[in-house]
Amino acid sequence: MSTAPKFEIDPVAFKADPYPTLAELRKNGGIHFVPQLGATLFTKRADIFTCEKNIAVFSSVQPEGLMNKLMGLNMMRKDGPEHAAERKATFPALSPRTVMDAWLPEFQAAADALLDQLEPIGQADLVRDYALPLSGAALGVITGLTNMTPQEMDRTSQGMIDGIANYANDPAVESHCHDCTASIDRHIDAMKPVLQASPNKSLLSVQMQAGLSDATTRANVKLAISGGQNEPRDAIAGAAWALLSHPDQLAMVQNGDTDWRAAFEEYARWISPIGMSPRRIAEAFDYNGVNFAPEDRVFFMFGSANRDETVFDAPEDFDITRNTSPAIAFGAGPHFCAGAAASRVLIAQVALPRLFARLKNLRVTHPPVFTGWAFRGPLHLNCRWD
């Protein structure tokens, strides 16, 4: 392990609310070995921004990693030319132009259909009844798995997330993850002949058109589902709650003093849906007085970087008027989130403005419970409207 100072955490408290612990880690140097996680945590924005780009040392290639074992070798676990080639092959499905021309109308139709059902009811859990199915429907058209229900998209996404974070090696968690990846494979099998006959801009189709191997194609679809379902789901519901609990800032958006994009970007900084990205030390390295040995595990804590006091004033406050450009909610360097454009359009151009336009006098009836540190979001958002 690295020579970073050791820092003990309470895993239960860290999952419930990691931010007090992360603030203490930043205050005490920013690089610590946490035995409960078996990794050295980087918690300051400047260190993460610098080291994430040094792929020769901080490598995404993790042959023994849980993601490779459970989901297959995807482009997130590759570096250099191999990673770049797969990013290029998948770009037609995720480019800003494709998102606007192909996916935006699909996002709008899905949101309107959900709100048509919800509006007359007057109450709902907006995680379960809006954010989850909207995120799943959007991911279905992006991946090409339009034969998968939003609920199954969410189940398989969560199952893979739990699996790749299963550092305690719980056999039940691993078994459930295998069940989820098998479901995705069955849906891919059913859609491949459809997309061979009628190619489109979906992730499955563009990889097939580019001639990527079947194993690579499947692994990248699973990657998209593991990250592309829970993060928009959590950001839709979380940002809605943030605005409802800060009515003055909601009024600023609704009055046109700022826009929905600013609200989304500030929420993604404030409560980062993607809180961490792991790396493997590829070669011996010294950084800021800490010695790293090959095969050491490092966690880049994006959620901490986005609350770094040396970068943001009053970082624990939700403030949609702040400059969020230094935030790294989508990562930095060559592994910047490939789905960033789709997330921004889905959440800031569709999900949030349509939600607040359709559900009049929207209000929270029970404060939501948030959970997670690697991925963070509300478990529910119980609301009423007139």
The DSSP result for 249-283, as a single string, is: HHHHHHTTSS-HHHHHHHHHHHT-SB--EEEEE-S
Per-residue tokens: 47: 């260190």
Mean pLDDT of all residues in 326-334: 87
Mean pLDDT of all residues in 83-93: 93
pLDDT for 79: 86
Rounded Cα–Cα distance for residues 43 and 288 (Å): 13
What residue type is assigned to position 286 of the chain? D
* Interaxial angle between packed helices 230-244 and 150-164, expressed in degrees from 0 to 180 and rounded to the nearest 10: 100
Mean pLDDT lowest for which of 77-81, 128-132, 174-178? Answer: 77-81
| Burial status of residue 370 (CB atoms within 10 A of its CB: 0-12, 13-18, 19 or more) | middle
Average pLDDT over the chain, rounded to an integer: 95
pLDDT for 267: 98
Mean pLDDT of all residues in 308-335: 93
What's the CATH number where 270 sits?
1.10.630.10
Strand (E) positions, 19-122? 31-34, 39-42, 58-59
| Burial status of residue 172 (CB atoms within 10 A of its CB: 0-12, 13-18, 19 or more) | exposed
Nearest to 240 by CA among 117, 376, 107, 356: 356
Indicate whether 203 belongs to any domain.
yes
Mean pLDDT of all residues in 93-118: 97
Q: Return the DSSP state at 369.
A: P
Strand (E) positions, the chain? 31-34, 39-42, 58-59, 123-125, 277-281, 285-287, 290-292, 297-300, 363-364, 370-371, 377-378, 382-384
Indicate whether 64 belongs to any domain.
no
Query: In the structure, what pLDDT confidence band is assigned to residue 168 with cuts at 50, 70 and 90?
Result: confident
Per-residue tokens: 113: 């259909």
pLDDT for 70: 87
Indicate whether 12 belongs to any domain.
no
The neighbouring-strand residues paired with 31 are 42
pTM summary value: 0.94
pLDDT for 370: 97
Count how many domains the chain has. 1
pLDDT for 164: 86
Alpha-carbon distances, residue 259 vs 89, 112, 236, 255, 272 (angstroms):
33, 20, 15, 9, 19
Query: In the structure, what pLDDT confidence band is assigned to residue 166 with cuts at 50, 70 and 90?
Result: confident
Mean pLDDT of all residues in 45-74: 90
Indicate whether 35 belongs to any domain.
no
Number of H helices and number of E strands within the chain? 19, 12
Does 338 score more than 90 pLDDT? Answer: no
Query: In the structure, what pLDDT confidence band is assigned to residue 337 with cuts at 50, 70 and 90?
Result: confident
Indicate whether 181 belongs to any domain.
yes
Indicate whether 70 belongs to any domain.
no
Mean pLDDT of all residues in 342-371: 97
Does 76 score more than 90 pLDDT? Answer: no
Indicate whether 370 belongs to any domain.
yes
pLDDT for 48: 96
Does 65 score more than 90 pLDDT? Answer: no
- The 10s digit of each residue's pLDDT in 303-317 is 999 999 999 999 999
pLDDT for 136: 96
Rounded Cα–Cα distance for residues 42 and 32 (Å): 7
Mean pLDDT of all residues in 227-248: 96
pLDDT for 205: 98
Rounded Cα–Cα distance for residues 219 and 83 (Å): 13
Per-residue tokens: 270: 């404030």
SS3 label, residue 65 = coil
Does 169 score more than 90 pLDDT? Answer: no
**How large is the C-alpha radius of gyration of the chain?**
20
Per-residue tokens: 102: 């192909």
pLDDT for 268: 97
User: Is the pLDDT higher at 156 or at 338?
Assistant: 156
Strands 297-300 and 39-42: parallel
Residue span of the structural domain in which 253 resides: 78-274+315-384
Mean pLDDT lowest for which of 59-73, 89-103, 149-163, 245-259? Answer: 59-73
User: Is the pLDDT higher at 227 or at 287?
Assistant: 287
Indicate whether 54 belongs to any domain.
no
